[in-house]
């Protein structure tokens, strides 16, 4: 599993981990039942604190993307739904936003408002 982290980014480290792993699950690069590296292991390879990785794992669990159990580790959950259509919709909204010269922040803020 390939996940990278940017210390200079404005996004919190645990959010970067969440985003990276979540994107891979949605893209099908990580399949249901597949096991993620142990938190201590991933933390060591990324030179992060265990707590940071664990927090990311807990967010992914809360969102339903993985299952966590002591002794067994983190496993990609079985999740219903086809993400292909979502990907196409996302591409379209990004194209439209770019056309209007919106910043990523502006677009995501608008979407967050529409989500309420």
Partner DNA sequence: TACTTGTTCTAGCTGAACTAGATCAAGTAG
Partner DNA sequence: CTACTTGATCTAGTTCAGCTAGAACAAGTA
Q: Compute the chain's Rg from CA coordinates.
A: 16
Matching residue, tokens 């959010």: 15
Torsion of CA 54, 1, 22, 109, to 10 degrees: 90
Q: Find the binding residues for DNA in span 46-65 (CB under 7 A).
A: 48-52, 54-55, 57-58, 61
Q: Which residue, 10 or 114, has its beta carbon nearer to DNA?
A: 10
Chain residues binding DNA by CB under 7 A are 12-15, 36, 38-41, 48-52, 54-55, 57-58, 61, 68-74
Chain residues binding its own copies by CB under 8 A are 15, 18-19, 22-23, 26, 63-64, 81, 83, 85-86, 89-94, 96-115
């Amino acid at each position: 599993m390939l996940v990278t982290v940017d210390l200079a980014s404005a996004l919190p480290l645990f959010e970067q981990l969440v985003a990276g792993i979540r994107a891979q699950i949605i893209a099908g690069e990580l399949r249901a039942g597949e096991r993620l590296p142990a938190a201590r292991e991933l933390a060591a390879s990324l030179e992060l604190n265990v707590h940071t990785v664990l927090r990311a794992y807990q967010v992914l669990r809360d969102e339903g993307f993985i299952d966590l159990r002591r002794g067994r580790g983190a496993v990609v959950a079985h999740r219903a739904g086809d993400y292909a259509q979502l990907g196409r919709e996302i591409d379209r909204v990004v194209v439209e936003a770019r056309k209007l010269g919106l910043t990523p922040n502006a677009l995501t803020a608008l979407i967050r408002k529409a989500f309420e």
